[in-house]
């Protein structure tokens, strides 16, 4: 698995839990002790951070962003996405 690749987790129907840090210095996806941590430079207002997280996660998984659905954590740092 490359540094930012989570392609082995890209199984349709699965849920993916992530921990988000908005207002980060740079955009990054890191797997740390089995926890996916995503830092985004976007601010957590008007869904900007959620949109940025969706884009980064889709790139790391190697799937189109339209295949990811945020099912829980719209206003929380801990989010659950479903891969359709």
Is 9 part of a structural domain of the chain? no
What mean pLDDT do residues 37-57 have? 96
Rounded CA separation 30/71 (Å): 21
Is 38 part of a structural domain of the chain? yes
| Per-residue pLDDT tens digits for 54-77 | 999 999 999 999 999 999 999 999
**Total count of domains within the chain:** 1
User: Where does the pLDDT of residue 1 fall: very low under 50, low under 70, confident under 90, or very high at 90 and above?
Assistant: very low
Is 78 part of a structural domain of the chain? yes
Rounded CA separation 84/75 (Å): 22
pTM over 0.75: yes
- Residue 66: what are its φ and ψ, rounded to 5°? -70, -15
**What CATH number is given to the structural domain containing 47?**
3.30.1200.10
Domain coverage including residue 70: 14-83
pLDDT of residue 3: 53
What mean pLDDT do residues 8-16 have? 94
């Amino acid at each position: 698995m490359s540094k930012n690749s989570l392609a082995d987790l890209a199984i349709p129907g699965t849920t993916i839990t992530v921990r988000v840090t908005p207002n980060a210095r740079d955009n990054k996806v890191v797997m740390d002790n089995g926890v996916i941590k995503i830092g985004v430079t976007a601010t957590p207002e008007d869904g900007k951070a959620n949109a940025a997280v969706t884009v980064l996660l889709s790139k790391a998984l190697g799937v189109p962003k339209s295949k990811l659905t945020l099912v829980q954590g719209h206003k929380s740092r801990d989010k659950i996405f479903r891969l359709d």
